[in-house]
């Protein structure tokens, strides 16, 4: 008797959490479309905004390289440069 009640309560909580999630809207600028297509395919784009407070050019470059080499992201060298430039310009640490 208690199990259906618990399952129902968990379903309501999960629905509320999912509904509260907001869409991440990155700054419009050259390279944004490649970031959305390449990065957003595997993970949420909120990582970009959450980590941007301490990400320098060197760190963004290392992150993009890691996604390609360690995780196998299918990103060309030219796209990687454009993605890194977008991230540094719009979310980089000065």
Give per-residue pLDDT as tens, 57-93.
999 999 999 999 999 999 999 999 999 999 999 998 8
- Threshold 0.85, pTM exceeds: no
CATH of the domain at 79: 1.10.760.10
Q: Which residues contact 88 (CB under 8 A, 6 or more apart)?
A: 56, 57, 60
- Summarised one tens digit per residue, pLDDT across range 7-28 is 555 665 655 545 455 677 899 9
> Is position 8 within any domain?
no
Domain that holds residue 62: 23-91
Kindly state whether residue 16 falls inside one of the protein's structural domains: no
Query: Is 86 within a domain?
Result: yes
Kindly report, residue by residue over 22-55, the tens digit of the pLDDT. 677 899 999 999 999 999 999 999 989 888 888 9
Are the C-beta atoms of 75 and 68 separated by less than 8 Å? Answer: yes
């Amino acid at each position: 008797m208690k199990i259906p009640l618990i399952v129902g309560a968990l379903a309501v909580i999960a629905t509320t959490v999912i509904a509260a999630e907001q869409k991440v809207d990155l700054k419009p600028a050259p390279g944004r479309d490649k970031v959305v297509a390449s990065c957003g395919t595997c993970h949420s784009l909120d990582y970009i905004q959450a980590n941007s407070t301490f990400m320098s050019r060197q760190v963004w470059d290392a992150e993009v390289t890691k996604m390609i080499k360690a995780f196998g992201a299918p990103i060309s060298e030219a796209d990687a440069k454009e993605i890194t430039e977008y991230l540094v310009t719009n979310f980089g640490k000065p």
